Structure 1
Amino acid sequence: MTAAPIPSDSPAAWLKRAGRPHRRLAAVAALLAVADVLPAIGFAAGLSLAIVNAVPSIVDALPWLGLAVASLLLRGLIGQAAVIVGARTGRAVKIDARTRLLSDLFNRGRRSTQRLTAIVEGVEGLDGYFSRFAPLRMAAALSPLLIIAAAAVASPVSAGVLIFTLFPFICGMILAGTAAARESRRQFEALERLGGLFLDRVRALPAVLAFGAGPATTAEIARGADELEKRTSRVLRIAFISSGVLEFFSALAVALIAVYCGFNLLGLLPFPVPEKLDLARAFFVLALAPEVYQPLRRLAAAYHDRQAAEAAVPALITPEPVALPAPPTGEAAPAILFENVAIAYAADRPPVLNAFTLSVAPGETVALLGASGVGKSSLLHLLLGMAPLSDGEVRIDDIPLSRSAGLAGQVAWAGQAPVVVPGTLAQNIAVADPSACPGRLEMAARAAGLTADLDRPIDERGGGLSGGERRRLGLARAILKRAPILLLDEPTANLDPGSEQAMLAVIRTAAQGRTTLIATHSDAVAGLADRVVRL
């Protein structure tokens, strides 16, 4: 009978794929966990023979005591090596997972408090699974059978008793794992909610203080913390109960072996058995009996690592992108199609834009006009990955934006408040293309109307630039960047009529040969467009 296949979208399948690039390290860790059986058998054999041989002469027992001590030392070394290799496996998987999440966060703009929690807490939840649970899973499957086989050499009846007592032990582990899975998922969801709530309140701290909402915010965070405490307590309660059940069955099995061996040695068994034990074999089997359940107990202790990892997987899943390569220099501007697009920043708030449809031809300049708050800037932010696509689809030359690798390499952007970095004016322009030569930098600055010294220093607050020059800095970056899509957000806002007229020529230069979207309130800027769309 073949095992049922694991669904490709299940947490178990995701964890399997995550560990596949590091399967060699995982295999070494698992083999080391299984190899722990050999020194365990050596210790039991050395101890039993040392006790038997110590009766005639203590000298005869010394070689066997040496075997027992050497087995203990070897077991410690194997255990330490298993821990080190397991930790390396977990670290390698975490690095891969965190790299994918950070790439998704910055390159595709999937920013959310849940995603930030996943990067920190969710990825850490993978560590225990790959460093402890996965190696112990193989050891729990193989090690008990190997130890029972060694015990069968000395006492087949004892080996049969050990096999029989394995069944209730395994059933207890399954029941405990099933109960823990549900509570672990709820605990991680509570952690996500608390992390998101705390991050949102920290971001809005000035507003919270300004409106005197400190006590209400504190109470809200306290309620979230209490919920997390309750979820965590339930997980720990299940863990303690399951641990007690497993310890009971383990102790019961060892007691059965001890009673059988003792009565067999004394000849007091009330039923016939096909063997007669001597002290060496009886002590050997008795020393091995706890080792049969040790791998299973270790797996049970690490079982919560599996539940924590599977609970974190849904937050770690990132859709596989379809590559959307950045076009080479000189490639024609793309067409942009918005199909019933909706943008909603929160599920409990109405969308800022709903059922919006617009087709922009290659190289066309479209001005988006409308009152503040109707979604003009949000539409541009959607293309930049800074706003969520709640419904509908955006297509760039028939390639869906939701399944692409993002548009960062294809978009030149000029916003209302360009970011300024400490350095010279030339260095600030070069932010758009660090590989640009001095000639291209000077050309972009001249086209944007920045004719002053490009080597003049600018601080992080924009000291040394006027308001108009900051707008020109954003346009100079847009001109410098070789991108077929141009997005402008209120490029002439708060400028006097004379400065606005001077800026129009710069905008016209920047938009040449590109598909351009301009969010503006200005009729003069809208006059540059091939088409005006009112929202």
Structure 2
Amino acid sequence: MEKKRQHQLTRWLRQQRLYARPWTTLSTLLGVISALLIIAQAWLLATLMHQLISEQQPRDRWLSSMGLLLLCFMARALLSWLREQAGYRAGEQIRRTLRKQVLDRLQQLGPAWIQEKPVGNWASLLLEQIEEMQDYYARYLPQMTLSVLIPGLILLVVFPVNWAAGLILLATAPLIPLFMALVGMGAADANRRNFLALARLSGDFLDRLRGLDTLRLFHRGAAEARSIAAASEDFRQRTMEVLRLAFLSSAVLEFFASISIAIVAVYFGFSYLGELNFGHYGTQVTLFAGFLALILAPEFFQPLRDLGAFYHAKAQAIGAADALETFLSSPQPAAAEDKPAPSPDLPLQIEASELKIMAPNGVLLAGPLDFTLSPGQRVALVGQSGAGKSSLINVLLGFLPYQGSLRINGHELRDLQRRGWHQQVAWVGQNPHLPARSVRENILNGQQVSAARLQDVLALAGVDEFISQLPQGLDSETGDWAMGLSVGQAQRIAVARALLKPCQLLLLDEPGASLDARSEQHVMRALLAASQQQTTLLVTHQLNELGQWDEIWVMRAGQIIQRGSWQQLTCQPGPFATLLTHRQGDIA
């Protein structure tokens, strides 16, 4: 990673500290108070040693100092615990904020953009990479301030007592951060490569896990296992490289700290022997001065040691922030607040002229398309896989960019407020998504409806057939990815949610996919009844159930090549008749 890029990421990481400034400030303040207690503790300990050894004072003269020393120990322990708590809260607050920013950005970009990368990449970004920033904000950033303040306070105490000891500490201190920075540059680059390898490994593993049945079918299990083993070994080696650099940083720090403390000890040893007679302002060197300097010398380097121990957290954070900062700094969609919202009271008229549907990376997915969806019209969209049907659904949802014209009641879709447009659209896809906690919350989706209306929708979608079998009925928890429900049950809940939502446009993207015959029949019957109430566009591969739809559009290679009613298309040769013949042949 270039040095300029490292500086840029470091500035970006520090800017995020604003989201938890009270906690980071509290952590630093507690560290400063703890440093003052360290100085007081060293002063009391040096005084005790001087009184016991040099002055041989009776016990009643130093008991008060011993009591204060014990209080310092207990207060430092309490402050250390409080500082850990404050640091953790700071890191937690920033991690939550960053995850919210990523999720909000993904929501703005839409599912079509998200699918450009494997799910494992997004999981790595949201979990591992953001999680790796915890120690940076909880420990490293507060320690950076303390590594300057605490040595400065100690020098203010040591210099009036013995200027030679102060000079030794002052001269050797800059060597530690210098060598730490040199090692840290390599560590940050190694961490970045490590996170890239982890993201690739996560994505590849998840993709192979999802396609396990296909791999077994084509006898590719052993080959893919070897590929995963090779990727895992590469990741292990990269991780060991990061650890090696982290240990090297710690070793360099300990080496220079030990040399500095040894020089201070040698200086005072020769001073007591009378070989060195400088540093004590013309007076005799005292046992108190020697003990104070030797007790504070390790504490002088301790903040730098702690910074070195946490320095790998900075390298990890910089490596993790590379992809995160790039993602959050990429051009955002236009602000929705300045766009008009479509009127929910007007009948919906959708007109497309020379419409070209583009992928997020600029690749043409479908088009040019010319069509009109009139208010209340019900259209079934058919075609082979890859014809562009789902792309048309995604562009109507506002999740894909387009060229040409796509007008909603005379307004370009790209110029409409996305949230306002989504309030007028209900969507049911191939894979049901139930993000809320319970069945009831997933169906209502924040709406307030009467019990009678809810019961009617449950019966229409077929939810009432299984809801009584769930432990708590409508209040049963769906769990992650609706794991407590079958696919058919989850799809019926998604259909009930769509039926309950007041909308002007109903988009159905193969809602019967992955369902058994009975569930599919029930779902399609409910959606057919619901299609009578608003404009509806259905994407389906089931051609035999389209006799009751107003119009059928046939897509091939991204274009609508045929359209008409069931009666018209079945009575004339053409693409639809060919599709119908092939489907019937497959069934036979």
**TM class, shorter-chain normalised?**
0.7 to 0.9
User: What's the offset of the Cα at 1:123?
Assistant: 2.4
Work out whether 1:200 is the aligned partner of 2:198: no
Which letter maps to 2:426? Answer: A
Q: 1:46 to 1:274 in 2, by over 3 A?
A: closer
User: What's the offset of the Cα at 1:136?
Assistant: 0.9
Aligned counterpart, 1:489: 509
Once the two structures are superposed, residues 470-509 of structure 1 have per-residue CA deviations (whole angstroms, 9 ceiling, x without a partner) of 99x98775454223433133579999xx99x999974762
More displaced stretch, 454-463 vs 144-153: 454-463
Aligned counterpart, 1:160: 167
Once the two structures are superposed, residues 229-271 of structure 1 have per-residue CA deviations (whole angstroms, 9 ceiling, x without a partner) of 1111111111111211111111111122222222233331388
Aligned counterpart, 1:94: 95
Aligned counterpart, 1:519: 539
Q: Distance in 2 between matches of 1:37 and 1:441?
A: 64
Gaps of 5+ in 2: 470-484, 562-588
User: What's the offset of the Cα at 1:368?
Assistant: 4.6
Q: 1:180 to 1:18 in 2, by over 3 A?
A: same
Aligned counterpart, 1:35: 33
Q: Percent identity?
A: 31
Aligned counterpart, 1:25: 23
User: What's the offset of the Cα at 1:273?
Assistant: 7.7
Aligned counterpart, 1:51: 49
Work out whether 1:528 is the aligned partner of 2:551: yes
Alignment partner of 2:425 out of 380, 395, 411: 411
Q: What does 1:108-507 align with in structure 2 at a 5 Å threshold?
A: 108-109=110-111, 110=114, 112-269=119-276, 274-276=281-283, 277-316=285-324, 317-318=327-328, 322-323=335-336, 329-330=344-345, 333=348, 340-343=356-359, 354=365, 356-358=367-369, 368-381=381-394, 389=400, 397-398=411-412, 400=414, 409-415=423-429, 430=443, 434-438=447-451, 440=453, 450=460, 456-457=465-466, 460-461=485-486, 478-489=498-509, 506=529
Q: Distance in 2 between matches of 1:44 and 1:504?
A: 79
Q: Distance in 1 between matches of 2:175 and 2:6?
A: 31
Q: 1:71 to 1:438 in 2, by over 3 A?
A: closer
Q: Distance in 2 between matches of 1:57 and 1:9?
A: 57
Which letter maps to 2:387? Answer: V
Q: Distance in 1 between matches of 2:45 and 2:434?
A: 74
Q: Distance in 1 between matches of 2:417 and 2:230?
A: 38
Root mean square deviation of aligned Cα: 4.7
Q: What's the secondary structure of 1:164's corresponding residue?
A: helix
Aligned counterpart, 2:477: none
Task: Check whether the contact 2:19–2:97 (CA below 8 A) recurs between aligned residues.
Answer: no
Task: Check whether the contact 2:382–2:554 (CA below 8 A) recurs between aligned residues.
Answer: no
Once the two structures are superposed, residues 424-447 of structure 1 have per-residue CA deviations (whole angstroms, 9 ceiling, x without a partner) of xx979955775333565578799x
More displaced stretch, 335-344 vs 87-96: 335-344
Aligned counterpart, 2:474: none
Task: Check whether the contact 1:383–1:407 (CA below 8 A) recurs between aligned residues.
Answer: no
Once the two structures are superposed, residues 367-418 of structure 1 have per-residue CA deviations (whole angstroms, 9 ceiling, x without a partner) of 6554332221243246558xx8599799885565999669654421244687
Q: Distance in 2 between matches of 1:420 and 1:57?
A: 77
Q: Distance in 1 between matches of 2:190 and 2:101?
A: 27
Q: 1:362 to 1:131 in 2, by over 3 A?
A: farther
Which letter maps to 1:341? Answer: I
Q: 1:393 to 1:214 in 2, by over 3 A?
A: farther
Q: Distance in 1 between matches of 2:80 and 2:434?
A: 54
Q: 1:405 to 1:114 in 2, by over 3 A?
A: farther
Q: Distance in 1 between matches of 2:290 and 2:540?
A: 90
Aligned counterpart, 1:3: none
Which letter maps to 1:519? Answer: V
Q: Distance in 1 between matches of 2:104 and 2:20?
A: 20
Q: What does 1:2-21 align with in structure 2 at a 5 Å threshold?
A: 10-21=8-19
Q: Distance in 2 between matches of 1:191 and 1:230?
A: 12
Q: What's the secondary structure of 2:502's corresponding residue?
A: coil
User: What's the offset of the Cα at 1:199?
Assistant: 1.6
Which letter maps to 2:42? Answer: A
Q: Taking structure 1 as the reference length, what is the TM-score of the superposition?
A: 0.78
Q: Distance in 2 between matches of 1:313 and 1:402?
A: 33
Task: Check whether the contact 1:329–1:482 (CA below 8 A) recurs between aligned residues.
Answer: no
Task: Check whether the contact 2:366–2:391 (CA below 8 A) recurs between aligned residues.
Answer: no
Which letter maps to 2:229? Answer: A
Q: What's the secondary structure of 1:341's corresponding residue?
A: strand
Which letter maps to 2:13? Answer: L
Q: 1:502 to 1:199 in 2, by over 3 A?
A: closer
Q: 1:47 to 1:200 in 2, by over 3 A?
A: same
Task: Check whether the contact 2:381–2:539 (CA below 8 A) recurs between aligned residues.
Answer: yes
Which letter maps to 1:25? Answer: W
Task: Check whether the contact 1:50–1:62 (CA below 8 A) recurs between aligned residues.
Answer: no
Task: Check whether the contact 1:393–1:402 (CA below 8 A) recurs between aligned residues.
Answer: no
Which letter maps to 1:192? Answer: A
Paired residues in the alignment total: 505
Q: 1:406 to 1:189 in 2, by over 3 A?
A: farther
Task: Check whether the contact 1:433–1:480 (CA below 8 A) recurs between aligned residues.
Answer: no
Q: Distance in 2 between matches of 1:402 and 1:194?
A: 40
Q: 1:82 to 1:39 in 2, by over 3 A?
A: same
User: What's the offset of the Cα at 1:213?
Assistant: 2.4
Q: Distance in 1 between matches of 2:267 and 2:442?
A: 85
Q: 1:281 to 1:354 in 2, by over 3 A?
A: same
Task: Check whether the contact 2:382–2:552 (CA below 8 A) recurs between aligned residues.
Answer: no
User: What's the offset of the Cα at 1:14?
Assistant: 4.0
Q: What's the secondary structure of 1:269's corresponding residue?
A: coil
Which letter maps to 1:57? Answer: Q
Work out whether 1:77 is the aligned partner of 2:41: no
Task: Check whether the contact 2:47–2:288 (CA below 8 A) recurs between aligned residues.
Answer: yes
Q: 1:292 to 1:534 in 2, by over 3 A?
A: same
